[in-house]
């Protein structure tokens, strides 16, 4: 464990490296960021990162971070909880809530609960009413490396009905190249959520058959073919973890994502860039609940009650030629 930097308000941010001689990852206490992923015999990192904390506190605040308490969008910055409408920060286009606004978990320094060679556990306490989200909530993120697999288990509890939808927001490029152009993608989803021109789900649940979003068989992708910022519907409830997505670079490096979540968002990074880098450098892949779920009766619920424990299990399994 080393000091990675100091926040603008004087808090130390630590970097924790876990892994083995096949897979090594680095995690920051700022935003529970998955900062680096290294696979043996591959001479570059697999996830986009920065060596500067100031970048993560600036334009890269979504890169690698664990976003919550509610990732993605809430239409008109409102959502019902227990049938009662709540208003949240409208930080997207002046109308909608995106990634929980200034109350988000990726804008905080997490506490280190435990760490060893293969394991890192971080936690965060969110007070009742912060960002207008009800409930005193505790979020725990457990990162562990098992052979060539990184597994993340996120749990949350609350003392009042609330909303929880966590998502790791890493950007992946398995070739170490300028863009992800030429990667191959497979997604085990029969349906996806179309969006309007503000990237808000329309409420439709569309069969991928005959559309550009049919990735049930792996195929090559390139920028704008299709334009990605959509949720792929994996199930209508949380289930046992299963393989849901495979991304393969032209290099032969491959990543398979397994999750218990009902959705996975894919974003092409058309307007998310590292300093002095071009668009489309990495592909964001975010296991999560369906976006804007409280505002659509047919979407799986993201409500959490005091007698429940939220649990997300997501893993990334890597291989190289």
| Burial class for 225, CB neighbours closer than 10 Å (0-12, 13-18, 19+) | exposed
Helix (H, G, I), strand (E, B) or coil at 71: coil
Task: For residues 21-50, give the mean pLDDT.
Answer: 98
Average the pLDDT over 107-128 and give the result.
98
Pairing mode, strands 263-267 and 184-187: unpaired
> What does the pLDDT read at residue 24?
98
Query: How high is the pLDDT of residue 4?
Result: 97
Mean confidence (pLDDT) of the chain = 97
% of the chain exceeding 70 in pLDDT: 100
pLDDT of residue 194: 97
How sure is the predictor about 67, in pLDDT bands with cuts at 50, 70 and 90? very high
Tokens of 96: 């909608």
DSSP 221-275: -BTTBT--EEEEE--SS--S-EEEEEEE-TTS-EEEEEESSSEEEEE--TT---T
Q: Give the integer Cα–Cα distance in Å for 128 and 162.
A: 10
What angle (nearest 5°) sits at the alpha carbon of residue 293, between those of residues 82 and 47? 130
Q: Domains of the chain by range and CATH?
A: 2-319 (2.70.98.10)
What's the pLDDT at 206?
98
Return the SS3 of 303: strand
The C-alpha angle 188, 193, 199, rounded to 5 degrees, equals 130
The whole-number pLDDT of residue 287 equals 98
Q: What is the pLDDT of residues 132-152, one digit of tens each?
A: 999 999 999 999 999 999 999
SS3 per-residue string spanning 176-206: CCCCCCCCEEEECCCEEECECCCCCECCCCE
Mean pLDDT (whole number) for 114-132: 97
Residue 252: what pLDDT? 97
Residue 316's contacts (CB-CB under 8 Å, 6 or more residues apart) are: 37, 149, 150, 255, 256, 257
Mean pLDDT confidence for 280-285: 98
- What local confidence, expressed as pLDDT, does residue 303 receive? 98
Q: Which of 257, 204, 207, 216 is nearest to 46 (CA)?
A: 257
pLDDT at 64: 98
Tens of pLDDT, residues 171-230: 999 999 999 999 999 999 999 999 999 999 999 999 999 999 999 999 999 999 999 999
Residue-wise pLDDT for 192-203, tens only, equals: 999 999 999 999
């Amino acid at each position: 464990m080393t000091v990675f930097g100091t926040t603008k308000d004087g808090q130390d941010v630590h970097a924790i490296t876990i892994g083995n001689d096949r897979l090594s990852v680095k995690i920051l206490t700022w935003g529970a960021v998955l900062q680096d992923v290294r696979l043996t015999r591959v001479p570059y990192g697999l996830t986009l990162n920065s060596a500067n904390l100031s970048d993560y506190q600036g334009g890269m605040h979504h890169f690698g971070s664990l976003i919550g308490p509610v990732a993605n969008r809430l239409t008109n910055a409102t959502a019902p909880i227990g049938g009662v409408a709540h208003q949240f920060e409208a930080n997207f286009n002046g109308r909608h809530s995106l990634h929980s606004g200034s109350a988000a978990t990726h804008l905080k320094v997490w506490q280190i609960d435990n760490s060893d060679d293969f394991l890192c556990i971080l936690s965060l306490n969110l007070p009742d009413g912060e960002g207008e989200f009800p409930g005193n909530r505790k979020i725990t993120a457990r990162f562990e490396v098992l052979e060539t697999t990184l597994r993340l288990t996120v749990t949350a509890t609350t003392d009042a009905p609330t909303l929880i939808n966590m998502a790791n927001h890493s950007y992946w490029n398995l070739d170490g190249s300028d863009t992800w152009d030429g990667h191959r993608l497979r997604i085990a989803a029969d349906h996806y959520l179309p969006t309007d021109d503000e990237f808000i789900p329309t409420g439709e649940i569309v069969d991928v058959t005959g559309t550009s979003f049919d990735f049930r068989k792996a195929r090559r992708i390139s920028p704008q073919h299709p334009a990605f910022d959509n949720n792929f519907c994996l199930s209508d409830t949380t289930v046992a973890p299963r393989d849901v997505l495979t991304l393969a670079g032209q290099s032969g490096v491959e990543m398979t994502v397994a999750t218990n979540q009902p959705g996975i968002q894919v974003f092409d990074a058309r307007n998310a860039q590292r300093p002095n880098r071009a668009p489309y450098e990495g592909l964001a892949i975010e296991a999560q609940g369906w976006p804007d779920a409280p505002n659509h009766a047919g979407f799986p619920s993201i409500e959490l009650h005091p007698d429940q424990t939220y649990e997300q299990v997501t893993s990334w399994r890597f291989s190289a030629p």
